[in-house]
């Protein structure tokens, strides 16, 4: 009898390739093309384009094209599994404010209990109180600095030692720091890369293995449109988000070997949270433009919808999607010029202030917000 797919070992133990190879090859063979929601979307776009094209050419009859396209796409749409709400306990890093707090309210509203992680105990308690009063869900809080080496493993051990089983992992906590590369304090750059990259990878591995063993789970990676932009004056942060984007895209594909485990990434554009204050990015063209910032609630809703629809990647708005694709397609010199302008200080050639060592600082104008 073929060993079952729970041969992926738990948590801190290292699963060997054997553990996976010894499984039923029919289950473990990676599936490079799956007719999932994303591919159905792609087919729908192609079929629609062909139908539109058929109106302008005499070679194909438009009636026939539309009929054929409908006959192919409609059954796929109707019979393909509908979106499902993530079930079970949700762990959110950076659940004490901004996008993470908004995600907490959305998950709690859908009946999920929460584990919220952050450094600021008071803020964590605020969100916990809001959730418990309004949604009557159970909330655990864990105070941890995830920019320190080894913090992902410590968090995993802390959670599992309490007997908690995480069904949904949200890798949301992230730091930014505006300014030129050579002027960045070395320790800020190290903490940024640890929090934005290493912790994300390790938490995905640790909790992801448990999900694979159980055959069920959801992971949400909070990336950024910065993951589509090489950005002079904000180089290191954007480079970390390129990392998250690539890591998450490949992870989504690898997870097709475990059909019950989903991985989605959200690409927020500039969003009105504490992030620009902490990153000293408030004075940049990107954040200084009036009306140019997303509402964190909308970002969180887009992320939640993407996760329940099992999307590989979602954007927080059409503007963000279009600007990211444009930056991808633009010649590199145009791309770099625009990105450098977007990340430059708004007031003439003034230099960006050096990023604060204490990235826990909070912006005045956002103090009244519920998070
Ligand atoms: N806002 C934007 O414009 C924007 C755009 C694109 C992507 N993003 C990404 O969205 C994610 C959420 O950011 P946000 O906009 O909601 O910013 P935020 O308001 O500053 O929230 C960041 C959250 O991360 C937590 N955090 C920061 N450093 C931490 C650390 N060392 N250890 C543990 N937790 C830490 C913070 O909690 P404590 O303060 O309690 O530690 C806070 O809950 C980040 O990954 C960010 O890169 C933001």
CA 60 to centroid of ligand 1, rounded, Å: 52
- Kindly give the number of the ligand 1 atom that is closest to the alpha carbon of 171: 45
Angle between helices 186-193 and 235-254 (to 10 degrees): 20
**283 — phi, psi (to 5°)?**
-90, 10
> When comparing pLDDT for 306 and 68, which is higher?
306
Confidence of residue 130 (pLDDT cuts 50, 70, 90): very high
- Kindly give the number of the ligand 1 atom that is closest to the alpha carbon of 96: 43
The percentage of the chain sitting over the pLDDT mark of 70, rounded to a whole number, equals 81
Tokens of 310: 């099992």
CA-nearest of 357, 354, 345 to 184 is 354
The percentage of the chain sitting over the pLDDT mark of 90, rounded to a whole number, equals 56
The pLDDT value given to residue 243: 98
Residues 6 or more apart in contact with residue 221 via CB below 8 angstroms: 171, 200, 204, 244, 247, 248, 251, 263, 264, 265, 266
Going from N- to C-terminal start, the domains of the chain cover 37-79, 89-366
Q: What's 294's DSSP letter?
A: B
Residues 6 or more apart in contact with residue 356 via CB below 8 angstroms: 278, 280
Q: Give one DSSP letter per residue of 76-93, joined into a string.
A: HHHHSPPP----SEEEEE
Taking the C-alpha atoms of residue 141 and residue 60, their distance in angstroms, rounded to an integer, is: 61
The H or E element that residue 66 is part of is helix 62-79
The pLDDT value given to residue 37: 65
The stretch 243-264 carries a mean pLDDT of: 92
Residue whose CA is at the smallest distance from ligand 1 atom 46 = 174
The residues lining ligand 1, judged by C-beta closer than 6 Å to any ligand atom, are: 93-94, 96-100, 118-120, 123, 144-147, 172-176, 195, 222, 224, 268, 270-271, 273-276, 278, 296, 360
Q: Are 135 and 109 in contact (CB under 8 A)?
A: yes
pLDDT in tens, 270-294: 999 999 888 888 888 888 777 778 9
- Kindly give the number of the ligand 1 atom that is closest to the alpha carbon of 225: 6
The pLDDT value given to residue 23: 42
pLDDT in tens, 241-251: 999 999 999 99
CA 98 to centroid of ligand 1, rounded, Å: 7
* Structure-token match 């994300």, residue found: 200
pLDDT in tens, 202-238: 999 999 999 999 989 999 999 999 999 999 989 999 9
Which CATH fold topology does 89-366 show?
Answer: Rossmann fold (3.40.50)
CA 272 to centroid of ligand 1, rounded, Å: 11
């Amino acid at each position: 009898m073929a060993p079952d797919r729970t041969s992926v070992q738990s948590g801190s133990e290292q699963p060997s390739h054997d553990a996976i190879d010894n499984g039923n090859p029919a289950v473990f063979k990676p599936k490079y093309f799956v007719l999932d929601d994303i591919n159905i979307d792609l087919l729908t776009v192609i079929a629609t384009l062909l139908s539109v094209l058929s109106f302008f050419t005499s070679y194909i009859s438009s009636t026939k094209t539309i009929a054929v396209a409908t006959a192919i796409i409609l059954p796929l749409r109707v019979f393909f599994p509908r979106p499902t709400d993530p079930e079970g306990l949700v762990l959110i890093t950076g659940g004490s404010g901004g996008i993470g707090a908004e995600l907490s309210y959305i998950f709690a509203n859908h009946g999920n209990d929460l584990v919220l992680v952050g450094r600021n105990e008071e803020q964590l308690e605020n969100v916990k109180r809001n959730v418990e009063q309004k949604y009557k869900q159970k909330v655990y809080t864990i105070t941890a600095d995830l920019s320190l080496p080894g913090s992902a493993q410590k968090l995993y051990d802390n959670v599992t030692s309490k007997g908690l089983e995480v069904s949904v992992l949200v890798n949301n906590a992230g730091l930014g720091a505006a300014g030129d590369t050579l002027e960045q304090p070395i320790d800020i750059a190290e903490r940024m890369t640890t929090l934005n990259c290493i912790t994300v990878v390790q938490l995905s591995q640790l909790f992801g293995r448990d999900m694979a063993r159980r055959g069920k789970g959801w992971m949400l990676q909070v990336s950024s449109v910065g993951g589509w932009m090489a950005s002079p004056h904000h180089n290191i942060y954007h480079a970390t988000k390129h990392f998250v984007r690539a890591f998450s895209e490949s992870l989504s594909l690898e997870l097709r070997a475990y059909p019950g485990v989903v991985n989605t990434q959200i690409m927020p554009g500039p969003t009105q949270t504490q992030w620009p204050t902490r990153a000293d990015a408030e004075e940049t063209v990107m954040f200084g433009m009036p009306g140019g910032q997303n509402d964190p609630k909308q970002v969180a809703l887009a992320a939640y919808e993407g996760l329940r629809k099992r999307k590989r990647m979602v954007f927080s708005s059409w503007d963000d999607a279009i600007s990211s694709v444009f930056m991808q397609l633009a010649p590199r010199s145009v791309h770099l010029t625009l990105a450098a302008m977007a990340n430059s200080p708004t007031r003439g050639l003034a230099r960006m202030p050096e990023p604060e060592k204490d990235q826990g600082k909070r912006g005045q104008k956002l103090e009244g917000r519920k998070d």
